[in-house]
């Protein structure tokens, strides 16, 4: 479900404001943002977390959820947006004004006392005006410093000082079964708290194949208006940004962008005004034994083994993959240090690489295996 305005279906029954900008399984997409901004600091590193067991919620004990919300809640903001749209029929036959306004609402959280805020890209997409309201009633005009549609992360700046700040945690330490607390403004109800547990991590198939985010899955109730708000742990540390839900009979599943991913994207936006993504330029398909049999029976161009894996369907001309020697019908088994079993895992492994830096790709071609060296290129901004 869209988490801030009218829903647009992505991959049924998943709903979110806008579908991911992924064409089939092309390792391509798009980036948005403004120019570089000088003088802005990188986001703080995650604090060291002790290995002591998390507090319990046994009767008579202090309520850790209350304490976590008291710690993070003051930094959670409401984001109100106005988008001005041109009405092509405006002024003709009384069909409304030439310029129409569309209002939206979402959530965000302050990560720097000078007014740096993280939210979802889809919350502020196309906004002409951005208003930010703190729980204490203070209101500011916000400016979108940059947004990355591929990961759905955006950075907003307000002019302020000594603002309450949310502590960022370490999403690599998150484990299923831990407490998950969502804070936001669902359905226009400010500062709403819901709680559940971490249901799963590294969800690479949450919103379709080829995605660039290994989502955190929770059963904490999330509704429209929660978009961009924090998912926190029992220590009050932000571990994710709530971004999408999947509805199911009698329940719903929520998905959050891991804060480590969001921090990386936000740091790039703060440094240069946009997020950088490597790409290699292939179209991939999840291979199954049945599909392999169909391919082998329908064409003499290549033969693929009857296994589960990832097969190259197409290689873009003059792309990093083409220059490295990848071909259609190659099976990709490993990217860098990571064994890969589906197209999403390939995408995530490529994203962990660096532009213009060598990346080893192990392929299976015919009866043999080869290791090719690919140098990912910068994903074109216009894509």
- Asked whether 193 and 76 are in contact (CB, 8 A), the reply is no
How many residues are given for the chain?
Answer: 383
- Asked whether 148 and 252 are in contact (CB, 8 A), the reply is no
Q: Three-state SS for 88?
A: coil
Catalytic, 152? Answer yes
Catalytic, 45? Answer no
In degrees, rounded to 5, the angle at the alpha carbon of residue 281 between the alpha carbons of residues 275 and 285 is: 110
- CA–CA gap between residue 85 and residue 78 (Å, rounded): 23
Nearest one of 248, 256, 96, 116 to 174, comparing CA atoms? 256
| C-alpha atoms less than 13 angstroms from C-alpha of 276 in its C-beta half-sphere | 15
Single out the catalytic residue among 152, 170, 330, 351: 152
CA distances from 285 to 24, 29, 368 (A): 9, 17, 20
Where do the H-state alpha helices sit in the chain?
64-72, 121-124, 259-272, 289-298, 320-324, 343-351
- CA–CA gap between residue 265 and residue 152 (Å, rounded): 10
Beta-carbon contacts of 189 under 8 Å, excluding residues fewer than 6 positions away, are: 225
In degrees, rounded to 5, the angle at the alpha carbon of residue 382 between the alpha carbons of residues 80 and 85 is: 35
Residue 93: Cβ within 10 Å count: 6
Residues 236-255: b if buried by 16+ CB within 10 A, e if exposed: bbbbbbbbbbbeeeeebbbb
- CA–CA gap between residue 226 and residue 243 (Å, rounded): 8
- CA–CA gap between residue 314 and residue 317 (Å, rounded): 9
Single out the catalytic residue among 107, 171, 227, 319: 227
CA distances from 357 to 150, 320, 377 (A): 21, 11, 9
Q: Which two tokens stand for residue 247?
A: 């509805």
Catalytic, 148? Answer no
Single out the catalytic residue among 122, 319, 330, 351: 122
Residue 276 CA, distance from chain mean position: 14
Which residues are the active-site residues? 122, 152, 227
């Amino acid at each position: 479900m869209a988490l801030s305005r009218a829903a647009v279906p992505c991959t049924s029954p998943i709903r979110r404001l806008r579908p991911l900008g992924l064409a089939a399984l092309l390792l391509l997409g798009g980036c948005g943002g403004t120019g570089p901004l000088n003088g802005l600091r990188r986001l703080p590193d995650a604090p060291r977390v002790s290995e002591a067991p998390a507090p319990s919620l046994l009767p008579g004990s202090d309520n850790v959820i209350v304490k976590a919300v008291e710690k993070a809640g003051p930094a959670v903001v409401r984001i109100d947006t106005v988008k001005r749209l041109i009405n092509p029929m405006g002024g003709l036959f009384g069909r409304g004004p030439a310029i129409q306004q569309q209002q939206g609402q979402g959530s965000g959280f302050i990560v720097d006392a000078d007014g740096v805020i993280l939210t979802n890209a889809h919350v502020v997409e196309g906004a002409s005006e951005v208003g930010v309201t703190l729980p204490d009633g203070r209101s500011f005009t916000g400016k979108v410093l940059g947004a990355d549609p591929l990961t759905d992360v955006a950075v907003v700046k307000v002019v302020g000082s000594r603002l309450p700040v949310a502590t960022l945690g370490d999403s690599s330490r998150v484990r299923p079964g831990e407490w998950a607390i969502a804070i936001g403004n669902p359905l226009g109800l400010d500062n709403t708290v819901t709680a559940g547990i971490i249901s799963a991590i590294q969800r690479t198939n949450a919103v379709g194949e080829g995605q660039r985010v290994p989502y955190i899955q929770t059963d904490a109730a999330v509704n429209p208006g929660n978009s961009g708000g924090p998912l926190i742990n029992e220590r009050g540390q932000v571990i994710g940004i709530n971004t999408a839900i999947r509805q199911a009979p009698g329940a719903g599943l929520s998905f959050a962008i891991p804060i480590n991913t969001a921090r990386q994207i936000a740091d790039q936006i703060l440094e240069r005004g946009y997020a950088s993504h490597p790409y290699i330029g292939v179209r991939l398909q999840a291979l199954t034994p049945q599909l392999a049999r169909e391919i082998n029976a329908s064409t003499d161009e290549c033969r693929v083994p009857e296994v589960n894996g990832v097969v190259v369907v197409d290689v873009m001309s003059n792309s990093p993959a083409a220059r490295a020697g990848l071909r259609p019908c190659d099976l990709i088994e490993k990217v860098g240090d990571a064994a890969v079993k589906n197209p999403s895992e390939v995408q995530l492994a490529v994203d962990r690489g660096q532009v213009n830096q060598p990346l080893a790709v192990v392929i299976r071609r015919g009866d043999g295996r080869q290791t090719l060296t690919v140098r990912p290129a910068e994903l074109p901004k216009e894509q």
